[in-house]
Every structure is written in structure tokens, then in C-alpha cells.
Structure 1
Amino acid sequence: MLMPGVVNYGDAKAKLDAGVGGIFITSWADPALLYQLHGLREEVGRPFDVAIDFEGGRVQRFSHILGEHPSPRDLAATMTLDEVEAKGAEIGQTLRAHGITVDFAPVIDVDGGGLEVVGDRSFSEDPRLAGDYGAAFARGLESAGVKAVFKHYPGHGRASGDTHLGEAVTPALPDMFGHDLIPFEEAFAQAPEAAVMVGHMVVPGLGDGTTPASLNNHAYGLLRSHHNFNGLAYTDDLTGMAAISNTMSIEQAVPAALAAGADQALWSSASDINAVIDACVYAVETGQIHPYRLESGAQRVQHRLDSIQ
């Protein structure tokens, strides 16, 4: 249920030896790692996921190796849904050829709130189009054997700021149902195999109205009950984003996320993997993480890992 960032082969091997279910290739990783993933799988000898951020446009890591592709906004403006699905498949084939099995894409936030962090990473200012195009891109990735991940639930497009920089508050939950949550409803229905990333936005009316969604059990409850979503739920980055890191250490944030309902806790910054594992064990032993929560999340991850060919 842990997905730490890695920077090179040795770092990845050490964290996998500690038992993590997946690794995240950070933007500052050694590019050589992209040519070593198949060998890493052979050496580790068990299934695990390898994730990357590759949306197209300004968020496409190691594009000198993995290729250059238009932004989601440009895709939606110049391509049909079928063409975007084909583009997703093209990207997915390249990622999978290098040993990458999870793409933290597509963004299905609705643009229109004037946030630079969203902008052309969004397919559209129209909620339904954002969902339709995101679903098409996701189906393409999935057809290539790469897990697509819709982000950033429940919607970052109209938040008060950028969660990389600090707290960001969305409109109140009733307002979200009529706008920001629509793309997720569309996308979940049209690409049911995809996963979801829960963002760090604070949503007034969701639980206590002060806890970021990624650490808020009400956010995961909404995801599971309102949307009937049964797939994998990832957190957004728990160390590289000030909305979390300003107030919590990684040893605090990971157990809090798992207790709230995340199936895999994601983080990018350097950390002591054994200290994080110890913090999670302590959280289980003291009742912060309920055994059922641990079991349900681990089963979802294991089901995912069993499907990797």
C-alpha cells in the first residue's frame, strides 16, 4: 500500500526489498532507470507497479526518452474522442515498453478557475467534455497495459490556490456536485478499469471541512458510495506538496492517508522507508488504521499486482 518515489536503480531495489507495492519515478530520477526496469523486475522476482507522471504538454517526464505529445487542452481542441483514445494507446505503448505500468494521468479537473496549475493540463472548461476526453485517453492507456489514473478527485479546477504551494479550498460540496464532480462521474462510467488520485484540496461540507481530501475519510466515502467506485485510490504526493508537508511529516501523513481510505500512499521526496513502515505498523497496533481498512486496501493492490503481465 506504499508507493515511494525513487531516483535510481539502487534506491528502487532497496524500497522494493522493503516490501512496497510500487515505485514512482520522480522527475529528478536518473534517466538510466528507464532502461533498467525490466532487469529490476527480474531481480526483484515479484510483481510491482512502476508509476510516472506523463500527461502530455508541460507534464511529460523524460520526454527525450518517452516522446513529446500535445497538452490535454490541445488534444481536445484538435482531435476526436477516438483520436485521443489512439493517442493514449500510443503513449501507453511507449511507457509499457520501458516497464512503466501506471500513468498518473489524465487530469480531469475542469479548467476555468484561473489556476496556472490546471490550465492546459485540463481537457476543457466544460465538465462533461473534460470527463469524455479524459475517459478516452484512459481507455487508450489501459489498452496498452498501463493503468490510467484520473486526477485530482474531487476536483482542483476552482480551488483557491495550488496545493503544491499551500492550502487550497474548493467551493462547497453541494456546488461541486454540479460542476467539478461531473467529469469523474463521466469518466468512471466510460473507463471503469482506471484508478483515481485523491488531491489535497479542502472541501467545505466534506467531513470537518478542514482536512485535505487525501486524508479525509469522507472523501473516500464519497468516492466509494456516491460514485460506486471500486478501483484503486491513490493519494497525491504527500511530501512534494505544501498542502500536506507544511503541517505533517511523511511518517504522519502516510498512516493518516491509509486510515482515511487510500489504497496506495504516494510520495516523492527522499525518506527512510523503514521509518514509514514502522509508523504504519504502529498506526495499526494503536488502532489508527482499522484492520479492515488495511485488508481492503491490500486486497485491491494485490488484485492489481496479480493482473500485471
Structure 2
Amino acid sequence: MNKNFSVKVAAMTAAALCGGLLVACTPETIGSDTTETSSSPISEKPTGRPGEPAPTSSTSALPATEETPEQEELRAQVASLMMVGVTSYEDALAKLQQGAGGIFITSWADPAILTEPGRDIAALRETVGRDFSVSIDFEGGRVQRHSEILGNWPAPREMAATRTPEEVRALAAEMGKSLADHGITVNFAPVVDLDIAELDVIGDRSFSPDPVVAADYAAAFATGMKDAGVTAVFKHFPGHGQASGDTHTGFAVTPPIEVIREQDLPPFGRALTGAPGEVMVGHMVVPGLGDESLPSSLDPAVYQLLRSGAYPEGVPFNGVAYTDDLSGMAAITDLMSTPEAVAAAIGAGADQALWSSDESLEVVIDTVMAAIEAGTISEEQIQESAERVQV
């Protein structure tokens, strides 16, 4: 199934590029299957983000073409939907000057971007002259990047076991202040997944296997982040806790949608009702929901479910929908290249496509523009997402 889907996506993307007149097309091009190297299940190095790859070499940019003012505006909107991993001040500046809507502080980024006057996030804001999001993974416990600067905090499971929700809110506000003081505006936390299948990749990152406990503590955490001026992102919709494996290392399938609807989804609705926050869509395949060959992050049916709130305790969601990492997780990279994945995710309904590798931003934007030209992504959809991500 994965091989067939990979070939199908490669063919669709090649056809879109042909339609956009951006590359010369041959039968060999249309039939190709492009993949990237994935990382280890937890990190590319001992302190890395789960699934983050070491930086890869950038793909050569596609040929430049003349653009009308309307096309330039559309291209700027497309660029605003990109949340790109950065490694240093210079790397971040280059990507922001190309219009990226946000930057993601990778675990291997030069710590100076958080600490060094003149080369930190404050300096970026002054130089770029516009607002943009700065994101990080900072859950507490084993997933807290650059903790030597931002501080060490207990794992979510420990938070729930030793503190009340009100105390977790206060703790999260302290965490959030540390993030905000260093220029970070978006935290890809808390985890709302239920630790039902005892997957190593979830484990103590989950507040609880109990849906009410998990939701209430996630809401408290998100509220604390908001108190500090940081946007929390609930993850990994529609629920990773019962998946067959780790999406960092390969294809992972959840139980059928009937099970997910009754067990894994309600905590998301309860948490979103109880606190402000955005949502990250994971890479699990959910049988019975949409296209069963597609990871959730690329499946329009998943985004439609999220927007509608049509599940127990669900509420309609009009906020920003992020993808999980599209370049550092084998559930995606075994199927397609990063530019293909970004185009597929945005076409499915994602507002911000997250990737952590050193993929060329220009190539990714060109690929999405070609998909718009080919009619597989509508301009209206781009405009709606661009409006949501305005900061």
C-alpha cells in the first residue's frame, strides 16, 4: 500500500509541476518516487526532538519565472503557511526574508539564537520588520528543547500525578514565561494523547490514560501558557495513543474510527472547550476515516472532522491547524519528499506546514504554487489559511 501511494503522490506532484510549467516533464519524471532519509525514533542525536532529522542539503531551486502582482501576493500568502526549522540566526533570517510565516527552533539549533544579543530572536524581529511565529517543542520531561537555557520541568505524567490542574496551570505559566522571555511564541504542547497502548513514543508525555484527566490537565497547561503570552498547540489529533507504532519510525495505524471516536477524540474536544489553543494533526492512519492510505496530516477528512467538531465532546475548531513534522518522520518521508508532503498537507486543509530539515523553502513554495496552478489547491483555501495564521 505504501509503495503504491508513493508512486501515486509522485505522479500527482509531477503532473502539477508540469501544469505549472515549472519543470520539463517526461514519463520517467512522472513515474519517479522521491523519498528522504528518516531519523531515529526519538532523535537524531541524544538530545534531539522525537523524529527530528539532522539537517539535509537543500534541493536546487526551480527556475524562476516572471510573476504578476497578484501572483506575488499569492506567493507571499503561501510562504506564510510555512513553519520551517532553523539552525542559526543567519539561517532563520534567510528563511524569514523569503516570507516564512514562522520558524521552528530545532534541537540542533545554535543556542545563540535564544541568548546572544544581536543574533537572537529579538534581533530577527528588528531586522525582518514584521511579526512572525517562533515555535518549539517544550512539553516538560524528555521533550523540552534547549532546557539548558529554558529550564528543566517535570514530564506531563508527573505533573498530573503530583499537582492539581490549578497548580499545573501555574507551572505552565512559569514555563511559558521562560519561553516568552527568549522570544518564543508557540509551544507544540501539550500532548492530549491517551497512554492506552503503552507506546514508548507516548508514555509519560501523556498526562493520563484517563480521557477526562488528560483533557483537564492539558487544558490547564494550555491556559498557563496563554497566561504567559505563549500559544499552546494540542497534539496529536485525532489521537496517537492506540496507534500500531511510532510515526517517527514508520507507518502507524490506529484502531477503526469507531474506537477512536469514542476513546481518543473526546479529550481533544474537552481540552479545546476548556482552554485556548491551536491543534497539531499527527501522521497516524485512521481506518474508516477518509483515505486509508493517507496519514492523518495529509487527509482532508481528518481536517474536516477537526473543523466540524463532529465527535463526542467535540467543538467546531476555527483556529490554526498545524501538521506534525513533515520532513523528520518516516510515516511521511517513506511516502514522499518534503515539498510533496507540504503541498499535500496544505491541500488537505493544514494552515501551517511544519518541517525541520534544511529543505529549500523556495522549492517548497514553488511546489505549492504549481499545485495551485494545476487546480489541486484553490486560491480561496490559501487565503483562508493565511488569514488564520496572521499574528
- State the TM bucket, normalised to the shorter chain: over 0.9
Determine the C-alpha separation between the residues in 2 that align with 1:269 and 1:131. 32
Deviation at 1:286, TM superposition (A): 0.8
Q: Does 1:149 align with 2:233?
A: yes
Deviation at 1:119, TM superposition (A): 0.1
Which residue matches 2:260? 176
Deviation at 1:112, TM superposition (A): 1.9
Pairwise mapping of residues 57-96 of structure 1 onto structure 2 (< 5 A)? 57-96=141-180
Determine the C-alpha separation between the residues in 2 that align with 1:97 and 1:271. 29
Deviation at 1:177, TM superposition (A): 1.3
Which residue matches 2:380? 292
Which residue matches 1:31? 111
Q: Does 1:281 align with 2:369?
A: yes
Deviation at 1:291, TM superposition (A): 1.6
The root-mean-square deviation of aligned C-alpha atoms, in Å, is 0.7
Q: Does the aligned pair in 2 maintain the 1:197–1:235 contact within 8 Å?
A: yes
Q: Does 1:118 align with 2:195?
A: no
What is the SS of the residue equivalent to 1:201?
coil
Q: Does the aligned pair in 2 maintain the 1:203–1:210 contact within 8 Å?
A: no
Q: Does 1:217 align with 2:300?
A: yes
Determine the C-alpha separation between the residues in 2 that align with 1:103 and 1:237. 14
Determine the C-alpha separation between the residues in 2 that align with 1:171 and 1:135. 25
What is the SS of the residue equivalent to 1:116?
coil
Counterpart residue type for residue 116 of structure 1: D
Q: Does the aligned pair in 2 maintain the 1:111–1:124 contact within 8 Å?
A: yes
Deviation at 1:143, TM superposition (A): 1.1
Deviation at 1:128, TM superposition (A): 1.2
Counterpart residue type for residue 64 of structure 1: E
Deviation at 1:278, TM superposition (A): 0.7
Determine the C-alpha separation between the residues in 1 that align with 2:272 and 2:292. 25
Which residue matches 2:53? none
Counterpart residue type for residue 279 of structure 1: T
How many pairs are equivalent? 302
Q: 2:127 aligns with which of 33, 43, 51?
A: 43
Determine the C-alpha separation between the residues in 2 that align with 1:253 and 1:235. 10
Pairwise mapping of residues 238-253 of structure 1 onto structure 2 (< 5 A)? 238-253=326-341
Deviation at 1:178, TM superposition (A): 1.1
Determine the C-alpha separation between the residues in 2 that align with 1:83 and 1:171. 34
Determine the C-alpha separation between the residues in 1 that align with 2:366 and 2:146. 33
Determine the C-alpha separation between the residues in 2 that align with 1:177 and 1:129. 17
Deviation at 1:196, TM superposition (A): 0.3
Determine the C-alpha separation between the residues in 1 that align with 2:345 and 2:386. 14
Deviation at 1:144, TM superposition (A): 0.7
Which residue matches 2:140? 56
Deviation at 1:163, TM superposition (A): 0.2
Deviation at 1:293, TM superposition (A): 1.2
Deviation at 1:251, TM superposition (A): 1.1
Give runs of ≥4 in structure 1 deviating > 4 Å. none
Pairwise mapping of residues 97-136 of structure 1 onto structure 2 (< 5 A)? 97-136=181-220
Q: 1:10 aligns with which of 90, 112, 134?
A: 90
Q: 1:197 aligns with which of 238, 257, 280?
A: 280
Counterpart residue type for residue 194 of structure 2: V
What is the SS of the residue equivalent to 2:264?
coil
Structure 1 stretch displaced more, 150-159 or 226-235: 226-235
Counterpart residue type for residue 214 of structure 1: S
Counterpart residue type for residue 360 of structure 2: D
Counterpart residue type for residue 88 of structure 2: N
Q: 2:322 aligns with which of 214, 231, 234?
A: 234
TM-score when scaled to structure 1?
0.97
Determine the C-alpha separation between the residues in 1 that align with 2:339 and 2:144. 29
Please list the CA deviations of residues 140-176 of structure 1 after superposition, one character each: whole Å capped at 9, or x if unmatched. Answer: 0011110100000000000000000000000111111
Please list the CA deviations of residues 33-89 of structure 1 after superposition, one character each: whole Å capped at 9, or x if unmatched. Answer: 112111111111100000000000000001110000000000000000000000111
Please list the CA deviations of residues 103-143 of structure 1 after superposition, one character each: whole Å capped at 9, or x if unmatched. Answer: 00000100020200000000001011101100000000011
Determine the C-alpha separation between the residues in 2 that align with 1:171 and 1:290. 32
Which residue matches 2:272? 188
Determine the C-alpha separation between the residues in 2 that align with 1:3 and 1:125. 31
Counterpart residue type for residue 259 of structure 1: G
Deviation at 1:185, TM superposition (A): 1.0
